[in-house]
Chains A and B, each alone.
Chain A
Amino acid sequence: MPDGFSAGDTAFVFICAALVMLMTPGLAFFYGGMVRVKSTLNMLVMSFVSLAIVSVLWVLYGYSLSFGPDAGAGLIGNLDYLGMRGIDLNALTGTIPVTAFAAFQLMFAIITPALISGAIADRAKFTAWSLFVALWVTIVYFPVAHWVFFFDGGNGGWLGDRNGVIDFAGGTAVHINAGAAGLALALVLGKRIGFKKDPMRPHSLPLVMLGSGLLWFGWFGFNAGSALAANGVAGMAFMNTQVATAAAMLGWLAYEKIKHGAFTTLGAASGAVAGLVAITPACGSVSMLGAIAIGVIAGAACAAAISLKYKFGFDDSLDVVGVHLVGGIIGSLLIGFFATGHVGQTASGLFYGGGFTQLGKQALGVVVVLVYSFVLSWLLGTAIQKTIGFRVSEDVEVAGIDQAEHAESAYDFSAVGASLARALSTPVTVPAEKTEVDA
């Protein structure tokens, strides 16, 4: 391998890429448990299909548009790497092979559109969703990733490299991007039948907990891996990720205990994800105490923000806006206050003597990505709605999208009577089990 290659960094980034890959199935479970039984499979596969579509597009042209040499003004990569041609086996990005970097970044491109799916649970045609994923990553994610993540000595992406917007692991490019798109699609598709009237309880909170645990685990790859090296910055990002997530869970739980009178498991899971989102852009530039502050603020603020959809009457079904858009904005802006100037990145925030300069840059990044993603997602969603139709028919939505779109059911309930049959039989050696716990 050429000079500058680090086997340690390379091994670390490959492992992190695999961790980030696992976040998409984790997200599928997180979302899948939150919907009603009749649309569980649809919710799961909306995330899974992103693994399929985006991986192929990434090799065909996605990597080139995102990380190919700049085509001008830091707006998009050129087509030099179409089909990943011309990438030398030994070529490096920093200290790691380009292939390792491409694999790591691919996983980010996969999970970003998957995040959007929560905003339109229970009601999107699967073909329309698949088409949306393909078009959305092409015209929204790939360019925005170039703006934010492509560094080339001041000639890279216009937000990150040229204007100094700090986004360590994707607060703007991933979370604000997906959150704004989720808002746009929730508006284009409209409310679910029975929104605010019928109970839409999560059908499996254990599945939600499992998903949030997998997300948390994978997020170490997402954040620490964004150092692209097994070094002190990665260590800082790792610890910041852990403490911000912990603090956010406490913040969310405290908010809902005060406001609604109960600590809920869904609140614990949601608070953790809100913290993960908020620390994502900031984990390479703040201290661990700063990370705790960001976590608490994000946890409580996102817990409050999820009621916005009822106030304004848009059906962001699984709170992509309340968690990812709001959490992403909070994390991105708080860098302007908490950036220490000596951890990872060099810019200082307001609390560390840097004045308002960095806060201004962060606000630029937030506004640009939010507006760009919202407008293009709304146009794209509307175009799909007006042509092939984005939303399933009323009959399908009421009966359940799993059977109509996928010809399957998530669970086999034919054995529901088994618990009773067991209770009624007289066991020979084992003590009789109790049946259902009283309500």
Chain B
Amino acid sequence: MKLITAVIKPHRLDEVKEALQAFGVHGLTVTEASGYGRQRGHTEVYRGAEYTVDLVPKVRIEILVDDDDAEQLIDVVVKAARTGKIGDGKVWSVPVDTAVRVRTGERGPDAL
């Protein structure tokens, strides 16, 4: 199994979600996140005091998938999240030892 993590622009969440549903993903976890990459932040000014805001709002999506589906699913996420402008985010995957469905106790790929 693999855990795929995507950090994307918040307004691309709907597209990614729909693309994943079309691909057949049954579940995912979404959290609000903040961060920066090459995009960096922006400057704000309040009564003459300038602040550099480094961290911009992002959404983090986590999906557990079977090893065989991982590469294809990453492509799906990347395609749906891309706007072509700087700040589109990152997607990565890591191996997962085990997974358990809490309700039934099923383990491994059966729990996905």
Contact = CB atoms under 8 A, between A and B. Distances in A.
Of B17, B45, B46, most buried by chain A (CB within 10 Å of CB) is B46
Contacts of A420: 13, 30-32, 59
Interface string A251-278: 0000010011110101100100000000
A319 B47 contact: yes
Given A416-B32, A420-B30, A424-B17, A438 B48 contact: no
B51 A438 contact: no
Nearest to B51: A199
B9 A306 contact: no
A259 B44 CA distance: 14
Nearest to A433: B14
Interface string B26-65: 0000111000000000101111111101001101000000
B11 interface: yes
Nearest to B52: A199
A434 B11 contact: yes
A435 B50 contact: no
Contacts of A303: 48
B50 A436 contact: no
B46 A437 contact: no
B47 A438 contact: no
Interface residues of B, number: 23
A439 to B, nearest CB: 4
A367 interface: no
Given A423-B14, A424-B17, A266 B32 contact: no
B19 to A, nearest CB: 14
A256 B48 contact: yes
Contacts of B51: 199, 201
Contacts of A319: 47
Nearest to B9: A438
Given A424-B30, A436-B57, A439-B57, A270 B14 contact: no
Contact of B14 (A260, A264, A432): A432
Given A199-B53, A417-B32, 12 more contacts: A256-B48, A259-B48, A261-B45, A264-B45, A266-B47, A267-B47, A420-B59, A423-B17, A436-B11, A437-B10, A437-B11, A439-B87
23 contacts: A199-B51, A199-B53, A259-B48, A260-B48, A260-B50, A262-B45, A264-B45, A270-B47, A310-B49, A420-B13, A420-B30, A420-B31, A420-B32, A420-B59, A423-B14, A423-B17, A435-B14, A436-B32, A436-B57, A436-B59, A437-B10, A439-B56, A439-B57
